[in-house]
Structure 1
Amino acid sequence: MKNGPRQRATIIDVAERAGVSKSTVARVLAGSASISDEARDRVLKAVAATGYERNHLAVGMRSGRSGMLGLVIPDITNPFWAEVARGAQDRAAKDDISLLVFSSDWDAGTEATHLRALRRARVDGAIINPVADNFDDLDRFGLPFVFIGSSAERFPDTLSVGSDIAQAVRLGMDILVERGHPAPALMLGPRSRLARARFLRAVHEHCIARDIDPDILLVEESDYTVEGGRKAMGRLLAGPWRGSRAVFVANDLMALGAMIAVREAGLRCPEDISILGFDGIPAGAFSWPGLTTIEKPGRQIGIRAVECLLDQIAGRPEHGRIFLPCRLVERGSLADVSASVAVRTAAGR
């Protein structure tokens, strides 16, 4: 005869094993300071021995909190967004908070469905990379929230955490100039994405500051995917190329696809084509050559977003808009042709 399922331990079981009252157990689990060290130790040992777990639903009904947060990101298969989710999860876990993660797939309708699900789940707040341009659900959301990512720029009065894209692009353009590539081709995402406009604006500002006509830069666009980068690189290679053969790619997945296209064309990176990525996903370290890239602080964005959201839930002052700095990660995909550029410049004078 099979045994039935083990009965779940209750707070009464813990109290009996520890030899204290039920209210004492409750105060220990709530983190009360008005408990002796000896009683707290007995309760915690009893909790471990019985396998007791708090009923968070019941606690939430009493406190008005569910102990859950929501996270809506555009593409959980993209390693950058996975890093954001991991940072958010790790930070939430420090406060014994669960995180519900949804992927909108860059679709406004899917995003709206997820937001409704979060409301039904009675989460305490949400972190959102807004896909919809007008975000009609914003006023109706009815919960504390924090925006993340480039899309948050459409809502300047809303609390948000993201990468400092202007600083990141300057880092990339500076290393390109230093390595002898002052006018690289650009590989950008779709015109519908705000990140594309921010990236291009920062490149133009850098060029104008260095007295370079931004109109001379070759521009290709595609999806933020490996296949998108492969196709865009193929189009660049098929057309006329002005200046040094270097490409500044606005997404590491696209950059990895571009490297595939270079090999398929019988060329070498960086000897024939230099490639600079943008995101800092782990896969870039395992390509050949390793992808030189501008690393965005994905995990830190997730951590800071949770911290800002918890502050907002607790009624502490808002943080405003937070832009976290990016950093250059040098590997092997960017050639240094500065010496030959200097020779050519001197010879042409």
Structure 2
Amino acid sequence: MGPRRTRRPTIIDVAERAGVSKSTAARALTGSSNITEETRDRVVKAAEAVGYERNHLAVGMRSGRSGMLGLVIPDITNPFWADVARGAQDRAVKAGASLLVFSSDWNPEAEAAHLRTLRRARVDGAVVNPVSDSFEDLDRFGLPCVFIGSSAERFPDVSSVGSDIAQAVRVGLDHLVSRGHVTPALILGPKSRLARARFLRAVHEHCVERDVDPAVLAIEDGEYTVEGGREAMKRLLAQPRVGHLAVFAANDMMALGAMMAVRDAGLDCPRDVSILGFDGIPSGEFAWPGLTTVAKPGRDIGERAIECLFDEIDHKPEHRRVYMPCRLLERGSLADLSAAAPKRMAGAGRI
């Protein structure tokens, strides 16, 4: 049996095992950008092999940083936001930082409380999805900050990352038209949310380009939840209509709720009702039928937001909005009526 180790491994042990200098090993473990990936991987493996753990307290005392970051999202139970959190965590860990994650539950007061907690924890910075379109706590936050979500666009002086909503809605509508669904009904979020306005603006622009009167589209609002989509779908089904009903929901949770309402009414999706979602959450793949959706890059948004936050912390921000493209995931919730559908329609009756 070999001798017992009586001291904690140091950065010198890591450097010797990786075959690099002490300063190179330290930069590799703190996420410095001027280190090659090959060197970083070698240093990380060496640190794991010798059992090295950074002394965050000592590092913070020397650098003035805690090595901790914050993330405040509106709903951790929504798989999309969980995906954002996973991407943020992966990028933070890669840089040797820890991430504190909070869910505001769409409550501005809870959000403000979480921000106060992050200040007390002395995090180096935070990524926040403002649940209010008038984010009044920014000046009092006093830390480097990056916004995510639609509300971020109201703050041009703050770096932000989000989905390209206009591109995403166009992708969804183009696919609906290609399937013969010329004037789909819409299930949107609350009127108080900027995301709803962004979505609706993109719909209107698409309609005008195709010489379709946007006023003919049936619209129901609801919360961004399964139950919100279920209730909105019930109201749509109660309206008089002729022929097949197609619905574009503003997120996948609402779309899944809409599918439940269709089943509750004794109807079939997609035979009687076609439904298109928006987010790309994994549970849509396991619905029956599988939910066709426009997928937002949740994990990529989380990773990119943390990268922007590091720029903020290092005092080299660009203060711009990063728009990330979305893609269509074709599953089974849309009927194909393209053989019988007209390519243009103006002044059509309400769905």
TM-score, length-scaled by structure 2 = 0.85
Matched, 1:255 2:260: no
Say if 1:205 and 1:121 are closer, same or farther in 2 by CA, change over 3 A. Answer: same
Say if 1:46 and 1:232 are closer, same or farther in 2 by CA, change over 3 A. Answer: closer
Could you say which residue in structure 1 is the equivalent of 2:348? none
Could you say which residue in structure 1 is the equivalent of 2:130? 130
Between the aligned partners of 2:206 and 2:7, the Cα distance in structure 1 is 64
Say if 1:27 and 1:167 are closer, same or farther in 2 by CA, change over 3 A. Answer: closer
- The answer as to whether partners of 1:308 and 1:319 remain within 8 angstroms in 2 is no
- The answer as to whether partners of 2:189 and 2:222 remain within 8 angstroms in 1 is yes
Between the aligned partners of 2:24 and 2:245, the Cα distance in structure 1 is 65
Matched, 1:203 2:203: yes
Could you say which residue in structure 2 is the equivalent of 1:175? 175
- The answer as to whether partners of 1:11 and 1:25 remain within 8 angstroms in 2 is no
Deviations 1:81-100 (A, max 9, x none): 00000001111111111111
Deviations 1:296-340 (A, max 9, x none): 010010011011111121222415111000001111101111112
Equivalent residue letter for 2:142: G
Partner SS state of residue 338, structure 1: coil
Partner SS state of residue 312, structure 1: helix
Say if 1:238 and 1:8 are closer, same or farther in 2 by CA, change over 3 A. Answer: farther
- The answer as to whether partners of 2:226 and 2:257 remain within 8 angstroms in 1 is yes
Question: What is the deviation of 1:144?
Answer: 0.9
Equivalent residue letter for 2:92: A
Could you say which residue in structure 2 is the equivalent of 1:3? none
Could you say which residue in structure 1 is the equivalent of 2:281? 281
Question: What is the deviation of 1:8?
Answer: 9.1
- The answer as to whether partners of 2:73 and 2:103 remain within 8 angstroms in 1 is yes
Partner residue of 1:30 out of 26, 49, 67: 26
Between the aligned partners of 2:343 and 2:127, the Cα distance in structure 1 is 52
Question: What is the deviation of 1:11?
Answer: 5.7
Matched, 1:151 2:151: yes
Could you say which residue in structure 2 is the equivalent of 1:330? 330
Question: What is the deviation of 1:53?
Answer: 2.5
Partner SS state of residue 248, structure 2: strand
Partner SS state of residue 140, structure 1: helix
- The answer as to whether partners of 1:164 and 1:323 remain within 8 angstroms in 2 is yes
Structure with greater Cα Rg: 1
- The answer as to whether partners of 1:187 and 1:249 remain within 8 angstroms in 2 is yes
Between the aligned partners of 2:343 and 2:198, the Cα distance in structure 1 is 34
State how 1:101-250 maps to structure 2 within 5 Å: 101-241=101-241, 244-250=244-250
Say if 1:299 and 1:274 are closer, same or farther in 2 by CA, change over 3 A. Answer: same
Between the aligned partners of 2:132 and 2:46, the Cα distance in structure 1 is 50
Matched, 1:318 2:318: yes
Partner SS state of residue 207, structure 1: helix
Between the aligned partners of 2:322 and 2:52, the Cα distance in structure 1 is 40
Equivalent residue letter for 2:26: A
- The answer as to whether partners of 2:159 and 2:317 remain within 8 angstroms in 1 is no
Structure 2: 5+ residue runs without aligned partners?
A: 29-33, 35-41, 346-351
Question: What is the deviation of 1:344?
Answer: 12
Deviations 1:64-85 (A, max 9, x none): 1111110000000000000000
State which drifts further: 55-64 or 82-91: 55-64
Between the aligned partners of 1:243 and 1:268, the Cα distance in structure 2 is 14
Between the aligned partners of 1:25 and 1:57, the Cα distance in structure 2 is 23
Equivalent residue letter for 1:270: P
Between the aligned partners of 2:339 and 2:49, the Cα distance in structure 1 is 67
Partner SS state of residue 100, structure 2: strand
Partner SS state of residue 72, structure 1: strand
TM-score, length-scaled by structure 1 = 0.86
Between the aligned partners of 1:324 and 1:242, the Cα distance in structure 2 is 38
- The answer as to whether partners of 2:158 and 2:319 remain within 8 angstroms in 1 is no
State how 1:294-305 maps to structure 2 within 5 Å: 294-305=294-305
Equivalent residue letter for 1:94: K
- The answer as to whether partners of 1:223 and 1:229 remain within 8 angstroms in 2 is yes
Matched positions, count: 325
Partner SS state of residue 140, structure 2: coil
Question: What is the deviation of 1:46?
Answer: 9.3
- The answer as to whether partners of 2:85 and 2:101 remain within 8 angstroms in 1 is yes
Equivalent residue letter for 2:235: R
- The answer as to whether partners of 1:184 and 1:243 remain within 8 angstroms in 2 is no
- The answer as to whether partners of 2:267 and 2:273 remain within 8 angstroms in 1 is yes
Partner SS state of residue 90, structure 2: helix
